[in-house]
Amino acid sequence: VDSLDWSEVYQISAKSGEQVNALVDDVIEKLHPGPQYFSKEQITDHPERFLVAELIREKILQLTEQEVPHSIAVVIDSMKKDGVNEKLHIQASIIVERSSQKNIIIGKQGNMIKRIGQLARKDIENLLGERVYLETWVKVEARWRERPQALQELGYNSKQDL
């Protein structure tokens, strides 16, 4: 420890937060600006399809809470402008591992899938700034997380991405 080149020492408390702000302020002051990799208008480097899928997945996890494990995936099958209504028509598949999970996502008389779609559509419209028609299907693919080809097809590079 004595061989390290200390510029300053901070006595902070993780429990109470004492002096944490002073540390953060000093670190920020000493940081040098790095290169700007993206334009100021660009909010992420992920494609729109990824963000749309994640918004749908988020609603599933929020609404089903502990009922559906996190072994679900959402795939955007298509995103195209509807020439008639000028809406963005999105078709998405929700992939689950068991029929019981499918039943939970669809819900009694389709109420859960309808609610998922309504909430996701609002968020997608806010993100993209245009009107959206969202169609969803629930598909069962047993043990999809254990098959490398299925992981790749669903947009995951490896099991670590799950």
Q: pLDDT value at position 24? A: 92
- DSSP lists the bridge partners of residue 79 as 90
33 assigned to some structural domain:
no
> Residue-wise over 50-70: b if at least 16 C-beta within 10 A, else e?
ebbbebbbebbeebbeeebee
CATH number of the domain bearing residue 79: 3.30.300.20
Q: pLDDT value at position 162? A: 47
Q: Considering its fold, how many domains does the chain have in total?
A: 1
141-144's contacts with Cβ under 8 Å and 24+ in sequence apart are 141/95, 141/96, 141/97, 142/97, 142/98, 143/97, 144/73, 144/95, 144/97
Q: How far apart are CA 127 and CA 32, in angstroms?
A: 32
- The 8-class DSSP code of residue 161 comes to G
Q: How far apart are CA 93 and CA 52, in angstroms?
A: 12
Q: pLDDT value at position 1? A: 57
The one-digit pLDDT tens for each residue of the chain (162 residues) are 567 777 788 899 989 999 999 999 998 988 888 888 888 877 777 788 999 999 999 999 999 987 777 788 999 999 998 777 789 999 999 999 999 999 999 999 999 999 999 999 999 999 999 999 999 999 998 888 787 877 777 777 644 444
User: Which of 33, 133, 32 shows the shortest CA–CA distance to 78?
Assistant: 133
Q: How far apart are CA 131 and CA 86, in angstroms?
A: 8
Widest CA span in the chain = 73
Range of the domain at 124: 48-161
14 assigned to some structural domain:
no
66 assigned to some structural domain:
yes
Using CB atoms within 10 Å of the CB of residue 41, give its burial: 0 to 12 exposed, 13 to 18 middle, 19+ buried.
Answer: exposed
- Could you count the other beta carbons within 10 Å of the beta carbon of residue 156? 16
Q: Which amino acid is at 7?
A: S
What would the pLDDT profile of 65-84 be if each residue is shown by its tens digit? 877 777 889 999 999 987 77
13 assigned to some structural domain:
no
